[in-house]
Structure 1
Amino acid sequence: MPNNRSHLEEDICIHIFTVSASMVGVCLTVIGLLRVVIAIRQIDSFADDLLALTAILFLVSCLSSYWALRTRSKGRMHQVERFADVVFIIAMLLMVVACIIITFAVAIS
């Protein structure tokens, strides 16, 4: 049974790693698109700054999960994996806030 749990935890780390890396790209793409909209409509938004922060947090989560996958100590793997998970959730929540800001900024203008 411990082997199945270890495999499951490694599987979670792999998912955090791949999704976090993808989300960095998504954040950067949205920042680029948002900058184009800001230039065209002459509106300013805090959302691009918030998305830059989420991109950094997703990168921290990605690197942390990679570190968890590479570590040999199970105890350290659990700590680093938990950290990566918390940072990932915070980044997702901030991304939702950025989406709300973008929605209201576009709707108001």
Structure 2
Amino acid sequence: MNWNTQRNPLDRDICVHIFSASAAMVGVCITVIGILRVVVAMHRADVIGNDLLALNTLLYLMACLASYWALRTRNVQRNHRLERVSDALFLFALTLTTVNAGFITWAVSAH
């Protein structure tokens, strides 16, 4: 049993999930930026949440692009490296999403 032949289908599957989830999260972040702008306008207060969400959107986009590149590459070594990069970016962006949710909740409830 060769480790590389057994590993490729699972890695591609993970890459497909990162690609679709991160692309969806870009849309979610953009939607939340719009909603937050409405909340900010109603409370007459500006929050750093928009900046954090914009950064979050860029991280999800980078994860999406890295996973797409990993799916398209034929070089196995590059494929595995890109999969690790997209996985790390996605997990970091997901963590930042949680921080953003807490910050936005705190900022909105403080007003």
- With the shorter chain as reference, the TM-score category is over 0.9
Of 40, 61, 65, 2:67 maps to: 65
- 1:81-102 superposed Cα distances (whole Å, 9 cap, x missing partner): 1001111111111111111111
Partner of 1:80: 82
Query: Alignment partner for residue 42 of structure 1, among 44, 61, 86?
Result: 44
| Number of residue pairs matched by the alignment | 109
Letter of the aligned partner of 1:80 in structure 2?
L
Q: For the aligned residues, what is the CA RMSD?
A: 0.9
- Residue 19 of structure 1 corresponds to 21
Runs of 4+ in 1 over 4 A off after TM superposition: none
Q: What amino acid does structure 2 have at the position aligned with 1:96?
A: T
Which one is further off, 62-71 or 92-101?
92-101
- Structure 2 residue 102 is the aligned partner of structure 1 residue 100: yes
TM-score, length basis structure 1: 0.96
How does the TM-score come out when normalised to structure 2? 0.94
* Structure 2 unaligned blocks of 5 or more: none
- Cα distance per residue 1:41-83 (max 9 Å; x no partner): 1121101110000100100000000000001011110001100
> Which residue of 6, 9, 16 maps to 2:8?
6
